[in-house]
Amino acid sequence: MRWLDVMMDRPRLVIAAVTLICALSAVAVALTRDGGELIRVDADLSALTSSDRPASALHDRYAARFGESGLLLATARHEDLLSAPGLRAVAQAHDALAALPGAGRVRSLASVPNLLRNAPDDPVLDVGSVTEQLARVPDAQPEIAASARRNPMLADVFFNAETGTAAFVVVPEGEGTGEALRALAASVSETLATVDGLHGVAVTGNGLVDAAVADAVWDGLMVTMPVAVLLVIALLAFSFRSALVVVLGAMSIGVSLLVMWAVGGMAGISLNMVSAIAPPVVVAFGIMFSIHMVSEWLRHDVGEDVARARRAVGGVALPLLLNGLTTSIGLAALALSPLQAVKEFSLLAVTGVLSLTLLSVSYLPALLLLMGSHIGQRKLPGEALAAAAARALANFAVRWRVPVVLTAALVLLLGLLAAQRIEPGSSYIANFSQDAPVRVDYERVNHDLGGAVAIDVYLEAPLDHVLLEPEIATAVDDFVRWARIQPEVGAAVSYADHLKVLNAAMQPEAEGEPSYPASLRLARQLLSFGGRDAVRGLIDDRQRSAVVRLRIRDDHSARVTALAERMQQQLRALPPAVRAEVVGAPVRAAETVGRIVDRQWVSVAAALGAIALVLYGLFMSARAAMVAMLPNLVPVGVYFGLLGVSGIGLNPATSLVACLVIGVAVDDTIHFLARFNAEARARGSEREAVGYALGSILRPVTLTTAALCLSFTAFLLSPLASHAEFGVLAALALLLAWLTDILVTPALGSMVRIVTLWDLLRVDLGSSPQLTIPLLSGLSNRQARLFALTARYERIPAGVDVMCEGDVSADICVCVDGQMEVWVKRDGERRVLNTIFRGATLGEAGYFGQRRTANVTTTRATRLLRFDASDLERLRRRHPRIAAIVLRNLNRIQAERLARATAMLR
């Protein structure tokens, strides 16, 4: 590649250009800093919901009318909650919470109205809260407690009689996210803990969980990044025994991270639970590229630095560029995910990998060129072991190639069968360890109150007051009663509940279960009389939109989705005039995670298809592309099989693994096939080439796999379980990819000769070889180059004997360019018979079993194509059409010579 040679001639210019890129990237990072934060972690998990399926119009109207951002759900126990001391403690706690800075509204037993008559014949109906009623009529505590237990607006919503738990809903002022929400939650917890009689305090909420995830993302990044860097630095130091190698590799990685973050800043990306995985991944790939380049550098003799750099870059540039391309394709396929967070990870990772690729073939060689004279050839740890292992593995792979390939196919099949059991699943709470404060509080609220996850059903009618119609309100009440008996639901409440209680309170003589008012007029009167404050947040003032509030016991996306689907089915029983939809952040997040499975197969198929096209373009053969792809399907199939049998499930983090592994696994295959191709041409034997190719790449490929696996296992230190799962699964899949590349790829390689596009482009047969070289007549340029690669391409200086009279040899030579003389020695004199130029074919007599009849000597530097019967047979097997044309031309040339010889005899 000419441009690589130019860069090696001007290493200081390359370093200056990279320095300028670093400066521009630093400026971009500085200009895009958000609020002075160099790296911002997003506490809003909206990026984990679908980006290509926006919320429905109903959902948007729900959010505008009834949405409450960042509300906190706090609980506290009392030994006798509905006793006078217990209710006074609730009242004291309510007042203290309402006075906290940052607290907007507080809802509890001390604020939600309760309906009470002091006596059955008392015309006065007390509609105050239970604590207000107790303060006015202390002796009525038994009646107050009994009415609270019967009130569906209170029971299981603001208290749980079985556990003695009181609930406090704190709606923060403003958006209620981030640091302010964490501070408010801490104040709520401290306040409740100071109230006499209350204990077992816990505070949770969606916004609080989001903030805890953001903290865990940052804490995890601060652990996984340094640990991954330290592990790979240790690996580099051990592998190359050179501090300079470590420093130069770290410089390339640092530049890539800076460029990645500049692009991310300009794209408005902040770190979240998924995109935070990108920086450690880029570090891992940076080490992989550095190991390949440095290993190639050390393979060459110490000599003139520029020549050494050219040999090193020339030997590894194509594989590295292809590695970067295939890895980027795998990562770019993740952009098809429905999750915005995964799209952001894709952009960051692709940016990092592409910059690493270019730096590895330009910046790193330039640094080695200027400072690498201190890195002489040396015996590196594991070289002898790698050489011995390569010979053993090559012999095994070639000898048992059929069983090896069949075993790989069987493993792939078993993995795909196990993958049928994959289920999407994600739980934010389960992401935290059992003793994490956010999970401890969530579990306590979930246990004490019977549910900690809030979801809603939004109802909308076309006209005012329609939702108060008895037929519609009764249908809504039927749905609420159905919801309460679902195993996932801990509490459910609607506007119809309060109107039923009001109606029953106005008819103290009525017996049985409370019923809804018999007419729209009566319902409006009751609501106007004593219900507006009680149902605020449940129905709007025009009574044309409302919500049913539910608390459920589980935030696992699969179970939330199953419940939401059953609820949506049940909602179809509502009158046609009412539109209804299950809404809320947990529902949208669960729906998106459910769509990951469908999009995962699309992403994987897109990655495989794109990489297959790249390999087809590289090898110019569908057969060779399949050879390169097949070994890399095995780790992907096994990965999906592991998901199916382990029960981990497909979630936003684990959905990254497959495409990442596809891109990386192909890298090692390309390194092997590139080396195998060169060795096969040089040695003329695919079987021998397997051993030599494996011997040259085994150590660097093993080191890169170790670097990647060590980097990914660093995710085990993350406080988020999904990150740990990602790290373990990625490491296992990459380890399996390494195993298939050192066994399956050599086994397949021994069965097929690989010719790359790079080889075709490097073959120089001059202008229009099919017109100027008779043996190549009728071939296209590509076909002529394929034939040249099957033959042996030789450069011969002037004054060298190409053939000698009397020798027995079956080689045929074709002059590509240069000049040769055909001569014989007679009577002690050198007699020149002919002068040969471009296009001449010579030696065909030897091909047909005759001795050489003359000498052939170069008189100028000459390029030849030399081939024999075995080369033509190999050409016939792999490219039968080309072989047929070449043999036809060879026969024609022989016939013409025979005709000329016959004419001369006459």
Please give the full DSSP string across 552-582, using - where no structure is assigned: ES---HHHHHHHHHHHHHHHTTS-TT-EEEE
Question: So what's the pLDDT on residue 810?
Answer: 76
Binned at pLDDT 50, 70 and 90, residue 2 comes out as low
552 or 513, which is more confident? 552
Question: So what's the pLDDT on residue 547?
Answer: 93
DSSP character at residue 693: H
Binned at pLDDT 50, 70 and 90, residue 537 comes out as confident
Share of the chain above pLDDT 90, in %: 16
| Residue 684 scores a pLDDT above 60 | no
Which residues partner with 858 through β-bridges? 820
Share of the chain above pLDDT 70, in %: 85
| Residue 467 scores a pLDDT above 60 | yes
| Residue 831 scores a pLDDT above 60 | yes
Helix (H), strand (E), coil (C) string for 392-404:
HHHHHHHHCHHHH
Helix (H), strand (E), coil (C) string for 716-734:
HHCCCHHHHHHHHHHHHHH
Range with the poorest average pLDDT among 50-54, 392-396, 505-509, 512-516 = 50-54
| Residue 755 scores a pLDDT above 70 | no
Mean pLDDT, range 564-584, rounded to an integer: 91
d(CA 31, CA 50): 29
In degrees, rounded to 5, the angle at the alpha carbon of residue 545 between the alpha carbons of residues 542 and 547 is 130
pLDDT averaged over the chain?
Answer: 81
Range with the poorest average pLDDT among 94-98, 523-527, 745-749 = 745-749
DSSP character at residue 815: E
Binned at pLDDT 50, 70 and 90, residue 726 comes out as confident
Mean pLDDT, range 84-109, rounded to an integer: 91
| The model's pTM | 0.75
Please tell me whether residue 589 adopts helix, strand or coil conformation. Answer: helix
| Residue 563 scores a pLDDT above 90 | yes
Binned at pLDDT 50, 70 and 90, residue 762 comes out as low
d(CA 246, CA 291): 10
d(CA 239, CA 706): 11
Mean pLDDT, range 402-427, rounded to an integer: 85
Mean pLDDT, range 870-878, rounded to an integer: 80
Other beta carbons less than 10 A from residue 271's beta carbon: 24
Q: Is residue 611 within 8 Å of residue 669, measured between CB atoms?
A: no
Question: So what's the pLDDT on residue 339?
Answer: 77
Mean pLDDT, range 403-427, rounded to an integer: 85
Binned at pLDDT 50, 70 and 90, residue 237 comes out as confident
d(CA 102, CA 176): 9
Closest by Cα among 62, 1, 858, 905 to 458:
62
Question: So what's the pLDDT on residue 373?
Answer: 55
Tracing tokens 């490929």 back to the chain, one arrives at 701
Mean pLDDT, range 675-679, rounded to an integer: 69
| Residue 75 scores a pLDDT above 90 | yes
- When computed from its CA atoms, the radius of gyration of the chain, rounded to whole angstroms, is 38
Q: Is residue 172 within 8 Å of residue 181, measured between CB atoms?
A: yes
Question: So what's the pLDDT on residue 473?
Answer: 92
